[in-house]
Amino acid sequence: DLLHWEVIKWGRENGCKHYDLTGVAVRPKDRKEEGIYEFKAKWGGRLAISGEYSLEGGSVLHGLLKKAKAAYRKVGNKGRVTGASAQASAPDALLNRGGP
């Protein structure tokens, strides 16, 4: 929590308007997904539904994207939940009360 809070404060001080916490499951299927949703929701941001997109297999682009995704996950982005994107805008009320 402290790391996220410091990033939010730094962002506000430097003119940032959004802090994107990436995706959450709109309908959590288990306790882990519920926990991820609750963690992100406590920051007081808004849920921005971005939709889901699917690229049909068999194309050269699809193959490249699969390789890029695998390489990206290999370097440390394991366990990322896709779907809706939660953007915390660090509202003034949150900043004024000293954190989540």
pLDDT at 14: 92
For residues 9-28, give the mean pLDDT: 85
Q: Residue 30's pLDDT is what?
A: 93
pLDDT at 8: 87
Within 10 angstroms of residue 41's Cβ, the number of other Cβ atoms is 15
Contact 24, 84 (CB under 8 A): yes
**Is the per-residue pLDDT at 31 higher than 90?**
yes
User: Which residues lie below 8 Å from residue 8, measured CB to CB, with a gap of 6+?
Assistant: 19, 43, 88, 90, 94, 95
In this prediction the pTM is 0.45
For 52, phi then psi, to 5°, come to: -120, 145
Q: Which residue has the higher pLDDT, 91 or 67?
A: 67
